[in-house]
Chains A and B, each alone.
Chain A
């Protein structure tokens, strides 16, 4: 659903950080910031919560490890035990390499799937971005126009070096 946003376009990342801090100090909620590369410190400046992806990764890893260990133990130890020179059928040390590989595989695939799902990314998805230049050399701060003091927001953006401020109806 498209909505009206105040968009401040910058051409450097340092003033973006200052502008974000100043806008939040003056009581404006930042909707989103768009940039061609990750800006370090922006998460804290925007007050973004930490990503929960590491937790998802841990869960997938645990699932992978359990699956791998149980699978090998069940197949070789219980379902069809083989007598190989009288050695124990449940040869735990032999299960280590495959358990490790399956753990890594499931963690990686599960986490990346979660990441794509959380961001709403899939092949052919329409990008929700305010300006095409944010993947090249421009940075954009988006603030919901509804309930915001447009003139004051524009003043803060300009003061911190926004080279362009516009109000547009876009889907973000």
Chain B
């Protein structure tokens, strides 16, 4: 008896689903999910700073963090990798790793898109890594090409993202100037009032060390499901609020931590980095 009721409910539900899909088909049919049926998809990393747009070397119009410290930004670069999308019914597609590394550069607007190919479908969830996964971080030199080439970008001043001495990549590089930075050894002894945050650490090659790789999952249902089709460019538009570096859950003052690189404190900042990403809308 109970079983029959269940079956009846299931039947009604099934018919209802059929009806719904039957209706939507007329306007925008959801293609059958097939891993080989690839179509263009992109994620746009649109950098912002609190309530303002992102601009480099903004010395005439400084930003202000929650601690009231005024600052300008001179460098922003970060790795996005391992993009994965999921449909409402749980079908997942991970972009093949070799096509899934992107270096977003604040100084180069063209780099703000992570362009990939995923199967046609409607996606309600987006997952990506901020940084370079540990597997790739320990691969041989043959697997480090393009933006992962240790020679890429030149030295650290000109945008290089490879740490030679600690055989790994800087995941998130954020530099700027603030009057609150001291002129002594704890701040910037050159007197340029520079702050530098180079956040990396892939967990160690043979023994565990700090791991600042962050996997970010974004629910797309509120601000717009990604409808990926061959005849158009579905683009998930993310706002990346770099103010959260200072104002996130582990908020801190530039004056107290003007230089954070490979150190225990970097773990606190890396936690803030997961709060940078907010889905604003989707262009389908």
Q: Does B bind A?
A: no
